[in-house]
């Protein structure tokens, strides 16, 4: 029997007051020790670009301080790595982090509202090209769970150049990849580990925003996950994705929703949300959120299945349906060449069949 891959451990600051006033310059290799995600580095730069400078925002406990680069919309201080690439009158920046305060909307949240287009970059991954919230030409990809966002700051770059840049990204510390992927989301996530303010953000093609003060997610200990899911009547795996973490979300008095994170060996993700019918914040029939997507109404064993996705070949897919025993379900998928529309519908069908065979779930019953 092979030894299990050890979980990833990284450095953190003791307090928000210890944050660097200005994020320091640091190489990708050295930054990896400070990051709860895989750090990627360019192996090739666009023509004429010769400068690549990276800076680190170190993780610290929640707290508002005067520090450049900290999150302006909450008291959270998660880790992040920023790279500026420039030359020949052109400049762009890459920003890397673990998007862990919600499911990344359409798998490319920085392009929200944009007519994003998917391009393959190898290994089943895709990069999305579009326009970001600052109206900059932009791109986004999730690679081994890391969200890698790009924004053009000066000059023009072609689609081919941006796609080639993403395709040429390589892990700064190759041995860190397996360890990060072996670490449960609940152990990596800043918001799962710390009492940071929750943030109301879109999560997919259909509207669902978690609102409310305080840290409301109650995450299951990794060693108790299998027993917890069994007690809920939920599967430990779906297709090639295995349950990684789970949490219940409430209003201080009762459980409202249950979330399960399923991950693939390469870092692909499914996020299942379930609730007693009418007992949580999933509203049926679902309403479309403000992001371009194709919408379909399908039949799932005589029940309606609401499905929306940005790209039929690459996803990112969002499905809502109701279980005959009286609870509501939503499944979100990350994007990739193996999680397009047809593959995702097959996963939903598999999941629904297994849930109906298992019967009523514990917290949901």
* pLDDT tens-digit series, residues 299-354: 999 999 999 999 999 999 999 999 999 999 999 999 999 999 999 999 999 999 99
Number of H helices, E strands in the chain: 7, 18
Determine the average pLDDT of the residues in 97-116. 95
Does position 150 have pLDDT exceeding 50, yes or no? yes
Helix or strand run (H / E) with residue 329: strand 327-333
Does position 71 have pLDDT exceeding 60, yes or no? yes
Residue 236 backbone zone (phi > 0: left; psi -120 to 50: alpha; other: beta): alpha
Q: Per residue in 241-296, pLDDT tens?
A: 999 999 998 876 778 899 999 999 999 999 999 999 988 889 999 999 999 999 99
User: Which pLDDT belongs to residue 362?
Assistant: 58
Rounded to an integer, what is the distance from CA 280 to the centroid of its chain?
Answer: 22
Q: Per residue in 2-59, pLDDT tens?
A: 678 999 999 999 999 999 999 999 999 999 999 999 999 999 999 999 888 899 999 9
User: Which pLDDT belongs to residue 365?
Assistant: 46
What CA–CA distance (Å, rounded) separates 234 from 14?
A: 38
N-to-C CA span, the chain? 39
The model scores a pTM over 0.85? yes
Q: What is the mean pLDDT of the chain?
A: 93
Bridge partners (DSSP) listed for residue 275: 328
C-alpha closest to that of 191 among 70, 59, 282: 59
User: Which pLDDT belongs to residue 75?
Assistant: 87
What is the number of residues in the chain?
Answer: 365
Determine the average pLDDT of the residues in 56-69. 88
Span of 96-110, 156-170, 204-218 with lowest mean pLDDT: 204-218
> How much of the chain exceeds pLDDT 90, in percent?
83
> How much of the chain exceeds pLDDT 70, in percent?
94
Q: Which tokens sit at 303?
A: 């029940």
User: Which pLDDT belongs to residue 197?
Assistant: 76
What residues contact 261, with CB distance under 8 A and at least 6 apart? 185, 186, 243, 244, 245, 246, 269, 270, 271
- Is the Cβ–Cβ distance between 79 and 33 less than 8 Å? no
Q: DSSP letters along 61-116, please? A: -S-----TTS-TTSS-B--EEEEEEEETTEEEEEEEE---SS--GGG-GGGTTS--
């Amino acid at each position: 029997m092979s030894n299990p891959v050890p979980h990833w451990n990284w450095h953190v600051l003791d307090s928000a007051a210890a944050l660097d006033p200005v994020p320091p310059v640091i190489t990708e290799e050295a930054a990896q020790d400070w990051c709860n995600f895989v750090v990627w580095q360019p192996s090739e730069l666009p023509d004429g670009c010769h400068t690549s400078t990276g800076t680190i925002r170190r993780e610290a406990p929640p707290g508002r301080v005067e520090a450049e680069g900290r999150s302006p919309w909450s008291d959270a201080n998660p880790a992040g790595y920023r790279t500026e690439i420039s030359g020949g009158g052109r400049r762009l920046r890459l920003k890397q982090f673990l998007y862990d305060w919600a499911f990344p909307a359409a798998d490319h949240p920085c392009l929200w509202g944009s007519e994003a287009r998917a391009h393959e970059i190898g290994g089943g991954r895709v990069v999305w090209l579009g326009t970001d919230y600052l109206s900059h030409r932009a791109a986004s990809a999730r690679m081994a769970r890391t969200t890698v966002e790009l924004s053009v700051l000066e000059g023009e770059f072609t689609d081919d150049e941006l796609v080639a840049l993403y395709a040429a990204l390589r892990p700064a510390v190759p041995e860190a990849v397996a360890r990060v992927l072996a670490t449960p989301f609940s152990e990596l996530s800043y918001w799962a580990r710390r009492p940071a303010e929750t943030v109301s953000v879109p999560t997919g093609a259909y509207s669902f925003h978690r609102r409310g003060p305080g840290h409301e997610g109650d995450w299951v200990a990794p060693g108790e996950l299998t027993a917890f899911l069994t007690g809920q009547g939920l599967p430990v795996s779906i297709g090639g994705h295995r349950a990684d973490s789970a949490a219940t979300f409430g209003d201080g008095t009762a459980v409202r929703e249950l979330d399960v994170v399923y991950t693939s060996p390469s870092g692909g993700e499914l996020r299942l949300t379930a609730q007693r019918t009418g007992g949580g914040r999933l509203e049926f029939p679902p309403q479309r959120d403000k992001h371009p997507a194709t919408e379909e109404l399908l039949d799932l064993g005589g029940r309606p299945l609401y499905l929306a996705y940005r790209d039929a070949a690459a996803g990112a897919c969002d499905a809502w349906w109701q279980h005959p025993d009286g609870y509501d379900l939503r499944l979100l998928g990350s994007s990739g060449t193996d999680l397009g529309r047809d593959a995702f519908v097959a996963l939903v069908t598999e999941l629904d069949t297994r849930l109906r065979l298992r019967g009523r779930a514990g917290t949901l019953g």
